[in-house]
Amino acid sequence: MTNRTFTSDNMLAAQFSENAGIYAIMLGYNKQKTPQSFILYQLTTPNITFTSLYCSVDLVFIGHSCIAYAKRTQTTVVPPNTTNSDTFYVRIRFLSSGTILSLDPMFPSNSGNLTDVRILPFGGYAVITRVYHGQNYNFTLDLYDEDGKLSKYDSPLKQTTANFDGAFGVLRNNSILVALNETTTSWQILLADLPPLSQYNKSDYGNIHVREAYPPTNFMYLPLNTNTINITFNVLISLSDANLVIYQKINNKFVLRQLINSKNCNNCITSGENITLNVLNCTFNDPGGHYFIQMDNNFVKSDVYNEPVLGIDKNMWNFQTNNITENTDNSGDIRGILRLTTFGSRYFQELNDSGKHDFFVTLIDQLIPMIPTEKGRLGFSYRHQHSSSNILISLLIHEAKDNEKLTAANIKDYLHQLIINKAFTVISMGNVTNFLDESYGFQQSQDIGKNHSALITIVIMTFIILLLLPFILNFKH
């Protein structure tokens, strides 16, 4: 912000001189050069002072939003000289390119000694007036909608006494915290939910740009192995460059199930305000599992303005898979092979016998929550062999018991998917599982009995016939 007091007697010059202005510099990620500043707002009126400025990403529309607090003073020419002052706010909406979308002066009626204006997450703005009263503040809250109209919402914070700092905060869920008057032995915080004051209703996803999603938040019956998710926004969108991450909550820990980057997503389909994302079959594979999806800012962007769209914070989009277990595994144990990468093979070969044993143990411990499955379902022979320059490791998957969720065949398929998609799954995050070769996956060992059962049956029958043939011939004679 720049301020300048104009003292010239030439009133014509005063009309064409910028006496106060607000300028912005947009700093991009990983940029070597600082871009040129651009003008957001200028005034030619003399004796203007900007005393505060509050800016954020525009939470209702696209782009950015700033509210500036301006004070204008005037001194009368005719003696006795008196100085009068008045205050006003200006709300500026603009794009990263510097394009100004709107300039809206605001003249709230309650201009106290200390006044703050805060943009609200679900639309509108709050004018918070704090007036000294002894060692504390008398705290007054007024809400205005997007058109600048005073809301009739009767808040418990309409008038209250705050602490000696007048401390308050506006949260992303559209609530406000105020530290109340303190005593020598206690202190209190008052929390109040604020109403949505825009054309959009309150969002269940902490972002009013998001209209709805599938699965909906707090859904409890998502079918197992669901392979698509869907988000509908309130603006036309296109793909940008950020991540959407699916997590599962296991024993108070967040386990990565799948990462999707919008820049490199071949299975992300946008249509107008809607985006559909394909997910792996192994992502939602745990009956009764608890999941949430987090979406970064700029995963999608406005198709009209080419501006990032806000994302979804963690623990906002929560849901649960259907708690149905179909344990029909009659195939017994499954044995297969894992292959280490070239780097992982070199690391393994440099370990002593104790280190190799610990490597096997750690690998199992990391795979169990990644699949996920119960302890005891995976086992190793603690033997390994070479295939060219890579180490091959034998893995045994035990058949399911009555109280276990996944069949051995399920575990085999899920493990293979996790490994071959290592760059987008939790496999890449384990210090041992990251050594697994994504070009190999999990290869089931050949079961001679199963694959050649017909041939074995023929051989056995032929052997029996040959064995009985002499007795048959003797019987005829």
Write the CATH number for 218. 2.60.40.1220
360, 406: one domain: yes
Hey, what amino acid is at 355?
A: G
- Domain endpoint, select from 148, 180, 202: 202
315, 381: one domain: no
Residue 365 lies in a domain: yes
Residue 420 lies in a domain: yes
Q: Tell me how far CA of residue 293 lies from CA of 154, 224, 284, in angstroms.
A: 35, 16, 12
**Strand-pair category, 136-144 with 125-133:** antiparallel
Residue 171 lies in a domain: yes
Domain range for 347 is: 334-444
437, 455: one domain: no
Residues 152, 153, 157, 160: is their CA dihedral positive or negative? positive
In the three-class reduction of DSSP (H, G, I as helix; E, B as strand; rest coil), residue 465 is classed as helix
The tokens for 123 are 């639309």
Give the whole-angstrom CA distance, residue 472 versus residue 477.
9
Give the whole-angstrom CA distance, residue 93 versus residue 67.
9
In this predicted structure, what is the pLDDT of residue 88?
79
In this predicted structure, what is the pLDDT of residue 342?
93
355, 395: one domain: yes
Supply the DSSP symbol for 298.
Answer: T
Residue 327 lies in a domain: no
- Domain endpoint, select from 156, 178, 202: 202
Q: Tell me how far CA of residue 212 lies from CA of 58, 231, 265, 309, in angstroms.
A: 20, 6, 21, 15
313, 397: one domain: no
Residues 6+ apart with CB under 8 A from 300: 233, 237, 238, 239, 240, 262, 270, 275, 309
316, 239: one domain: yes
230, 275: one domain: yes
Instruction: Pick the closest to residue 334 from 391, 394, 421, 419 (CA basis).
Output: 394
Tens of pLDDT along 2-35? 444 333 344 333 433 456 778 888 877 677 787 7
Residue 42 lies in a domain: no
223, 190: one domain: no
Residue 426 lies in a domain: yes
Domain count, the chain: 4
Tens of pLDDT along 97-106? 889 998 888 7
Which residue ranges in the chain fall short of pLDDT 70? 1-19, 29, 75-85, 108-114, 132-138, 155-166, 181-184, 326-331, 382-387, 446-477
Residue 346 lies in a domain: yes
Tens of pLDDT along 289-319? 999 999 999 999 999 999 999 999 999 999 9
196, 245: one domain: no
pTM of the model: 0.81
Residue 305 lies in a domain: yes
Give the whole-angstrom CA distance, residue 189 versus residue 162.
9
- Domain endpoint, select from 294, 321, 348: 321
360, 269: one domain: no
406, 465: one domain: no
359, 456: one domain: no
In this predicted structure, what is the pLDDT of residue 4?
40
